[in-house]
Chains A and B, each alone.
Chain A
């Protein structure tokens, strides 16, 4: 698809969409969002890029092999579960580290978040693996 309008809008949208996907991932525990939704959003953003510029260009932009995301994501999710085991609790129990910041802000780090990041990466990796494989022929 050799469309100037599509390419121009894609260049504008891609950054926002990818940032938005991370935003969705991070806020997911309290508000609509999460790893699945964030991952799908990021994948949709790359899909848009594929439509506008082709798979080769999209692949250059993503830089990592989508298959590597699959492995890293699954490892992160399992690691989140194993951290709980290290604490002597059953596999996949949530452990939290809450850091208070000046003002009333706080940062909540958790194995649950790590797990959700794993979900995010697997979802992105799955869709992109399929997209690139389809377009790569």
Chain B
């Protein structure tokens, strides 16, 4: 399973090269990747159908007990097949939709990278690796939403999607870390098998809320629903793939995965069912304002996701089954609807459903796909969407009947949106469109037709996927095996009556839509209230706040900068020391040799000279003397490596600071400051000195724990073949620290270079090739 994910990542990496080579046919060839993976995942079907789950663990960081555990059960397989199966359609479709776009190779890289991350997400059996894949999908989504990055709208929407989903991801991580702290394990299957420890913990409510926030942000649930309609700035293949069929289902997947753990917890049930119901109401209401086909579909996606969240929260055998069936049905009709809306936009030049009429005359195949998917989306018989809706109604009737109110309303709105997108622009005798309409190319027809066709086949023959796939998937959600049969015709049940009511309401709504829509827009328009407004105010306020704060604590004036940093460090450390009473000083006096006192006297004199200096060069020279004095102390105490380093660093600092000073205006240090500034600086400096001195005395007061140094001394030659313990520590025992330090050095050097270079690009000696034969002595006279 891991190899499948890695293979997908590998192909994604070379996809740009392939796309450039293959040109216009790239989509067809690259679709072989998801197609191959789809076939490969199908080989798990027999085992999964038999109720087994296949485990695969690869050691990752064995010392820390981190493994890359993957697991394939019904739910994972269902998701993996959706991701790869719809992936085939999307990759082919994108080849036609973005034909001729110079950024198409990059698009394939990110799209296939997303697919790999998504497959990793749904097959992870480890909380940490699930989180990593989760955030990878957020990041790839960011790049895909912002694909048309020349438009400010696209960039803002991409950032919004990233901030909301990645922020929720962090909440989820906090929840995961709590689970790990409580149970001591990162294994998801372990958690499901034995949830008793977690359920007994007083932290359980926090865990539930945090994990749910992660899922709600990803699946665009209220109050985080607003990012999804804005994410429609992405090219249509992305909307069809990430923002309807796969990524937004990650939240639902997570809830479904953890449902057996939390099911029956009142907080879980109420949180999920209430948020689900609230989301349905909010999204259904907001959709009435929209006439953009993709935005309408986005709201209908939110409604569908909310239905799944609600069903998962209710728990039990009916609801679990309904959630899983609805998951598949939704993927099969929503992706083609998006693709169809994109094709219409592409070939007829608009997504405004009121601007289009009769397009179906020129685009008969697109219309056919739209109708097949639309009927399923509307929940009409005999399509698969109807089977799913009937199950959901039965589940609600079985548990909390009051939730039927939002659900029936949602069904009506879903029908409305299906009609608006799949019927309204296509029907009519005469063609009205902003440009001459053509049928979409083959690449943009195959996917929608096949997926929508699958909805028809499964409507008549739901048993094709029932026992093999949906029963094991539902078992994962319910937590126990539960056999069921799917039928198109359930008999004259209350659910059928409710279905009829939903359809009647939907028809009524559709009939009066234009009047309602215009009235709503006229009355309320684009008012910025609700969570989207809160987000906007937060973002609008964040940057000015950050700027004001930075101006305050990190101004351009270097001295203020240093004063703030030193003062904070002194106060934080000093107060902690005082409060905890840990600053016990060892004041035992050990007489030293006279030359030690001599060096000390030099150091003190140099410090005083530095403080009293009027000009910069004497000040920095005095500091250099001070540094050399300390280096001599290291020599006295037989630390040659330390001493050499100190000597060299002091030398280089004096040279570099001297070079800097040559560029500064010449005037007295005293003149620049008034008394108050000097007083503050003196206080902070004195406190810092006192703190460091007392820390040193406090550390030397206690007995030194010599275990580590003894180990290094004993093992330096036998294990690391080196007699210089300092160097052995640097390059062997603690080499990873050194690696971190030199990485910091590189970052700092690049930072300095960028800062200095920015001032003057033209006169940079490393980038301008010097004229040949210029003598070395011609170098700048500085």
Contact = CB atoms under 8 A, between A and B. Distances in A.
Interface string A11-49: 000000000000000001111111111001101100100
B724 A123 contact: no
A69 B726 CA distance: 24
Interface in B739-771: 739, 742-743, 745-746, 748-750, 752-753, 756-757, 759-760, 763-766, 770
Given A33-B727, A67-B753, A130-B749, A57 B721 contact: no
A55 B780 contact: yes
A118 B742 contact: yes
B103 interface: no
B312 to A, nearest CB: 41
B569 interface: no
A66 B766 CA distance: 9
B651 A44 contact: yes
Interface of B is mostly: helix
Nearest to B766: A65
Contacts of A116: 727, 730-731
A4 B397 CA distance: 98
- Tell me whether chain A's interface is mostly helix, strand or loop, or mixed: helix
Contacts of B774: 56, 60
Contact of B728 (A29, A51, A55): A29
Contacts of B644: 32-33, 37
B652 A40 contact: yes
Nearest to B641: A32
A53 B776 contact: yes
Interface string B638-649: 001100110011
Given A40-B652, A57-B779, A110-B721, A126 B746 contact: yes
Contacts of B759: 137
A108 B721 contact: yes
Which among A7, A59, A90, A130 has the highest number of chain B CB atoms within 10 Å?
A130
B721 A40 contact: no
Contact of A133 (B649, B652, B753, B782): B753
Given A2-B781, A57-B776, A137-B760, A132 B724 contact: no
B734 to A, nearest CB: 10
B770 A34 contact: no
Given A32-B640, A51-B655, A108-B721, A40 B748 contact: no
A9 to B, nearest CB: 15
Give chain B's interface residue range (CB within 8 Å of chain A). 35 or more
A34 B724 contact: yes
B722 interface: yes
Nearest to B645: A37
Given A61-B776, A130-B656, A137-B760, A34 B742 contact: no
A55 B768 CA distance: 13
Interface residues of A, number: 65
B765 A119 contact: no
A83 interface: no
A10 B722 CA distance: 34
Contacts of B743: 74
A68 to B, nearest CB: 10
B197 interface: no
Nearest to A54: B779
Nearest to B649: A40
B776 A73 contact: no
A54 B726 CA distance: 35
A113 to B, nearest CB: 8
Interface string A97-120: 000000000001010100110110
B736 interface: yes
B659 interface: yes
Given A61-B776, A133-B753, A137-B760, A29 B766 contact: no
A1 B535 CA distance: 59
B750 A67 contact: yes
B721 A133 contact: no
A96 to B, nearest CB: 6
Contacts of A53: 776-777, 779
Contact of A30 (B651, B724, B742, B756): B724
A60 B780 contact: no
Nearest to A92: B735
Contacts of A81: 735-736, 739
A29 B723 contact: yes
B152 interface: no
A122 B656 contact: no
Contact of B756 (A7, A61, A136): A136
Interface of B: 63, 640-641, 644-645, 648-649, 651-652, 655-656, 659-660, 663, 720-724, 726-728, 730-732, 735-736, 738-739, 742-743, 745-746, 748-750, 752-753, 756-757, 759-760, 763-766, 770, 774, 776-782
13 contacts: A28-B724, A29-B727, A29-B728, A50-B655, A54-B780, A55-B780, A59-B766, A74-B742, A92-B739, A112-B732, A122-B745, A129-B752, A131-B655
Given A34-B731, A94-B720, A116-B730, 13 more contacts: A1-B781, A40-B652, A47-B656, A58-B779, A70-B750, A81-B736, A92-B735, A119-B742, A122-B745, A129-B749, A134-B656, A137-B756, A137-B760
